[in-house]
């Protein structure tokens, strides 16, 4: 009688292994799905940030009559460039953030793709070009 009570109170090694195996299988099936969502969330966040920059750049142009030069960059949305009395900023509520991969956005004006500035994030790999998560995110294709 005593032996039956002891075996009922504890967890056997086999039961513990079964539970660990189930958890490992669950992690193996669900984990990759969440990782893919994280990467897609970064791409979406990058596009949203670029849209916010383009809106702020539009307000900057309305006030000053022109976009910031490549040299002035996106920082001109927070700090007035010298000799620009029409500047009514700051045009962004906070300092210019890094892209979701913690690298600066590349800014160019005059751009090569229309009348607006060109902005680029080099994606997850930080290299020009690429496919999938490593693909560049471009303001003119946003």
Say how far residue 84 (Cα) sits from the centre of its chain.
32
Spell out the long-range contacts of 124-133 with Cβ–Cβ below 8 A and sequence spacing 24 or more: 124/39, 124/42, 126/101, 133/39, 133/42, 133/43
Task: Indicate which CATH number applies to the domain containing 39.
Answer: 3.30.700.10
Give the percent of the chain with pLDDT over 90: 38
Q: How does pLDDT run across 64-100, given as a tens digit for each residue?
A: 999 999 999 999 999 999 888 899 989 988 899 999 9
Q: Residue 24 has which token pair?
A: 């490992």
Domain count, the chain: 1
pTM of the predicted protein model: 0.71
Residue range of the domain that includes 18:
2-141
Q: How far apart are CA 50 and CA 98, in angstroms?
A: 11
């Amino acid at each position: 009688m005593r032996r039956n009570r002891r075996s009922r109170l504890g967890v056997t090694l086999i039961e513990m292994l079964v539970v660990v195996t189930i958890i490992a299988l669950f992690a193996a099936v669900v984990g990759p799905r969440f990782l893919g969502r994280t990467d897609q969330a970064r791409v979406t966040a990058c596009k949203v940030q670029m849209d916010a920059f383009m809106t702020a750049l539009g307000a900057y142009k309305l006030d000053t009559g022109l976009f910031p030069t490549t040299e002035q960059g996106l920082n001109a949305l927070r700090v007035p460039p010298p000799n620009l009395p029409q500047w009514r900023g700051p045009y962004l509520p906070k300092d210019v953030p890094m892209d979701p991969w913690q690298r600066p956005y590349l800014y160019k004006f005059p751009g090569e793709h229309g009348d607006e500035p060109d902005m680029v994030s080099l994606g997850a790999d930080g290299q020009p070009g690429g496919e999938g998560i490593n693909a560049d995110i471009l303001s003119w294709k946003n």
